Structure 1
Amino acid sequence: MSSDPWGRVDETGTVYVRTADGEQVVGSWQAGSPEEALAYFERKYEGLVVEIGLLEKRVKTTDLSAKDAQVAIDHIREQVDAHHAVGDLDALRTRLDKLVETVDKRREERKQQRAKQSDEARHAKEALVVEAEELAQSDQWRAAGERLRALVDTWKGLPRLDRKSDDELWHRFSHARSAFSKRRKAHFASLDAQREEARKTKERLVSEAEALSNSTDWGPTAARYRELMAEWKAAGRAQREHEDDLWNRFRGAQDVFFAARSSVFAERDAEQSENLKLKEELAEEAEKILPVTDLKAARAAFRSVNERWEAIGHVPRDARPKVEGRMHAVERAIQEAEEAEWRRTNPEARARAEGLTGQLQAAVDKLKGQIEQARTQGNNARADKLERELEGRQALLDQALKGLQEFGG
């Protein structure tokens, strides 16, 4: 019989292994010596040790799934429990139990990690949905559209949730994108309709502008062009491919009209500048009539100047008040001289003036007598009152005397 610390071979060739539960039969050996039998089953044991060591390393250093690790552990445990090896089988069971604990711990860690990742993915997708729903109401069509496309790419990069949650969130996300696309499509359809309406309006404005381009009715036509321009601005923009062409035609028609008007106005301005020169010379001639010494000669001279003045055409509007003012000043001076002459030679007016002067002189003399009498009587208050009245009558008398002098009296 042969033995070692973990096993023995009896005289029948039966091999045993020692365990905590007592000896267990390993197998029967008939082909050689007992030492060879123990050496064979000890090599079996060493094989299990190596296999467990490799599995421990894989569990610690690779991403071996918990399921695959458990299958491998169960496979080795079956071999250990079969007692087909000689060695410390209990130690192998202990190592396998620890390995199970490690795998369970790894399984729980991965479960928590997946739960955390799933929670993060849920929050991320919910945030994407909220942003997409906000963008669905935006009128910033280009920026919002680009952002929605970026959100789709971000969504695709996130892990899936459970089917129900993922489907619900995707439905909201997809609905927001559809709502935005529908609003954008409606907006641009409306814009296209507005631009088509603007094109029709501008076609009409261009036609009228071109029809007016050869008009010589300068004032009304210029006013109508201003109205057409206001209508053009109010019409909005036509399609890009039409807008520039319509504007060039519209502007070109105006340019033809205003160029022709400018040419005519330039000729008129030159003519009016020459008229102004002539009228300034006549105004200077008229001013030499003053002062009026011979009324008849002055009237004749002014009439001659005025006839030549009327024969001359318009002058520039800004110069008109000044040059006409000079002529009017001469005309007023002659009129005033005529009025003074009439007053001087009018018998009725002279008589009225003499009568008024006489009445005032009598009133003044009377007041002077009354004042002297009041002073003599010591009634100074009455005298002072009468003197104030005298001042007023004296002023009227002085004015009447001045008027009488105009009649040569």
Structure 2
Amino acid sequence: MSSDPWGRVDETGTVYVRTADGEQIVGSWQAGSPEEALAYFTRKYEGLVVEIGLLERRVKSTDLSAKDATTAIVHLREQVDAHHAVGDLDALRKRLDALTVTVEQRREERKAEKAQQNVQARQSKEALVTEAEELAQSEQWRAAGERLRALVDAWKGLPRLDRKTDDELWHRFSHARSAFSKRRKAHFAQLDSQREEARQRKEKLVAEAESLSGSREWGPTAAKYRDLMQEWKAAGRAQREHEDDLWHRFRGAQDVFFQARSEVFAERDTEQRENLTRKEELAVEAEKLLPVTDLKAARAAFRALNERWDAIGHVPRDARPKIEGRMHTVERAIQEVEEAEWRRSNPEARARAAGLTGQLQDAVDKLRGQAEKARAAGNTAKAEKLEKELAGRQELLDQALKGLHEFGG
């Protein structure tokens, strides 16, 4: 019989292991010596020690799941409880018990972590849903659309919740995206409709602008082009592929008209500057008629100059008042001489002037006599009043005498 601290082999070849519950049969050994039997079953024990050690390290240092760890523990415990090894099996059971406690702690920790993750995941998904529902009302179509796509990616990166909660949140999230897509589609459909209306309106404006490009009614047509431009701005933008082409045609038609007008105006401006030079020469000739010494000759000369003036045509607008003012000055001077001559040669006017002069002379003589009489009588106040009235009548008499002198009287 052979033995060691943890087992023995009896005379029949039966191998025993010592445990806290007493000896347990390990097996039967008939192929060799008792020492070889103990050595064999000791190696099996050492194998169990190695496996348990590996499992302990995996539980401690890897992300081995609690389920897989428990399965491995059960498997090793079955081997230990089978008593097919010689060694301190009770110590192995204690290590497995301790490992079971560790795995259960890990299970609870992971359960708590998962619960916390679920809370965070729910909060994150609720935040995504809230933001999606806000974006569903946005009219920032591009930015909101890009943000909603980013929210979908963020959703996919979050863990699933319980089915009911996850489905409810996803329904809200999906509904918000659908609502936004529906609004955006309606918006762009309306925009397409508006742009099509704008294209049709601008086609008509282009046609009208092109029909006016050959007009030579410069003022009315330029005003019409201004009206067309206001209508163009009010029409809104057409589709991108049409807008630029329509604008080039519209602008091109205007350019044709305004280029032609510019050429005509440039030619007209040159002609009017030449007219101004010629009229300035006539104004110099007219001014040489002053002062008028021979009314008949001056009048005939001015009439001839005026005929030449009218035949010349228009001058630049800004120069017109000054040049016409010079001719009017000469014309007015001749007219004044004519009026004076007429007054001198008008018998009725001279008679009226003579009569007025006589009346004023009588009034002056009468007032002078009354004033002298009042002063002689010592009535100074009355004398001064009469003398003041006398001075006014004398002034009127002097003017009348001057007028009468112009008549040659």
Q: Give the TM-score category using the shorter length.
A: 0.7 to 0.9
Aligned equivalent of 1:352: 356
8 A contact 1:344–1:406 mirrored in 2: no
Distance in 2, Cα, partners of 1:74 & 1:176: 51
8 A contact 1:210–1:250 mirrored in 2: yes
Residue 398 in structure 1 maps to residue 398 in structure 2 = no
Q: Once the 2 structures are TM-superposed, how far is the Cα of residue 363 of structure 1 from its aligned partner?
A: 4.7
Amino acid at match of 1:287: E
8 A contact 2:353–2:403 mirrored in 1: no
Aligned equivalent of 1:160: 160
Residue 24 in structure 1 maps to residue 23 in structure 2 = yes
What stretches of structure 2 of length at least 5 have no aligned partner? none
Cα deviation code 1:75-114 (max 9, x no counterpart): 2122223333332222112111111122122222222332
Cα deviation code 1:212-249 (max 9, x no counterpart): 23323332222222222222222222223333333333
Residues 275 and 47 of structure 1: CA distance in aligned 2, closer, same or farther (over 3 Å)? closer
Distance in 2, Cα, partners of 1:83 & 1:388: 166
Q: Aligned ranges for residues 16-55 of structure 1 at < 5 Å?
A: 16-20=16-20, 22-27=21-26, 29=28, 31=30, 34-55=34-55
Amino acid at match of 1:407: L
Distance in 1, Cα, partners of 2:373 & 2:116: 129
Q: Aligned ranges for residues 67-216 of structure 1 at < 5 Å?
A: 67-216=67-216
More deviation, 130-139/361-370: 361-370
Cα deviation code 1:352-374 (max 9, x no counterpart): 2553465367557756876x589
Distance in 2, Cα, partners of 1:364 & 1:118: 131
Residues 362 and 103 of structure 1: CA distance in aligned 2, closer, same or farther (over 3 Å)? farther
Q: Once the 2 structures are TM-superposed, how far is the Cα of residue 272 of structure 1 from its aligned partner?
A: 2.3
Aligned equivalent of 2:268: 268
Cα deviation code 1:115-138 (max 9, x no counterpart): 333333333333333333333233
Distance in 2, Cα, partners of 1:8 & 1:30: 11
What stretches of structure 1 of length at least 5 have no aligned partner? none
Cα deviation code 1:14-57 (max 9, x no counterpart): 5444333x413224546255544444433332222122111112
SS of structure 2 residue aligned to 1:407: helix
Q: Aligned ranges for residues 47-66 of structure 1 at < 5 Å?
A: 47-66=47-66
SS of structure 2 residue aligned to 1:292: coil
Instruction: Report sequence identity in percent.
Output: 71
Q: Once the 2 structures are TM-superposed, how far is the Cα of residue 6 of structure 1 from its aligned partner?
A: 3.0
SS of structure 1 residue aligned to 2:18: strand
Query: C-alpha root-mean-square deviation of aligned residues, in Å?
Result: 3.3
8 A contact 1:26–1:85 mirrored in 2: no
Q: Once the 2 structures are TM-superposed, how far is the Cα of residue 65 of structure 1 from its aligned partner?
A: 1.1
Q: Aligned ranges for residues 185-264 of structure 1 at < 5 Å?
A: 185-264=185-264
Aligned equivalent of 1:307: 307
Paired positions, count: 401
